[in-house]
Amino acid sequence: MDEVLWWLCVPFKIRLVVSLLEIEGTLAMSNSHIGSSEVDLWLLQDYKRVVWVHKYRVELPVTEISRFEKDGECWYSNVVSEERDVLVDGFDWQLHYDVKGNLLKKFQCNGCMLNYTTHILRESLVHHAFFQMQKSGGTHEPPFFQGL
């Protein structure tokens, strides 16, 4: 079978913070500015006709986020799950918000800006004892850790 690839145009302005993920079984794009109070999620509704649909916008509490970041407005926000979770990635903290902008959990990074990905390669993961322990109980992890 031959694979055909081509560029997909988007009907919106791509901002500096962009990530691709799968939502509702289709390609989705999380889109925001550095230090922005808004994160948009777009779905590719029709691949052949290149039709993108604005699914929703999450409003984040900038004042609250600023309390965690000493260096001003230097955070990156991405939608990371079908449950509309948003992960705000800063230099000192990672903050987990729900779709209504409520802080669910905070993770201290101690000055190390962490990099995360929304991609999960389930078929290629080796099932180590660590993964089995996570599934059988213990701590409840946020939805963006599911699948590990």
Per-residue confidence (pLDDT) for residue 45, from 0 to 100: 92
Per-residue confidence (pLDDT) for residue 140, from 0 to 100: 54
Q: Which of 97, 77, 85 is nearest to 19 (CA)?
A: 77
Residue with tokens 């991609």: 119
Per-residue confidence (pLDDT) for residue 148, from 0 to 100: 45
Per-residue confidence (pLDDT) for residue 82, from 0 to 100: 83
* Average pLDDT, consecutive stretches of 10 residues, N- to C-terminus, the chain (148 residues): 75 80 87 85 90 91 77 74 83 85 85 58 54 53 53
Per-residue confidence (pLDDT) for residue 54, from 0 to 100: 92
CA dist 106 and 142 (Å) reads 11
The answer, as to whether pTM is greater than 0.85, is no
Q: Residue 130 — φ and ψ, nearest 5°?
A: -60, -45
Which distant-in-sequence residues (6+ apart) come within 8 Å of 74 by Cβ? Answer: 34, 35, 90, 91
| Residue ranges of E strands in 11-146 | 17-23, 26-32, 38-46, 51-59, 76-79, 86-89, 93-97, 103-108
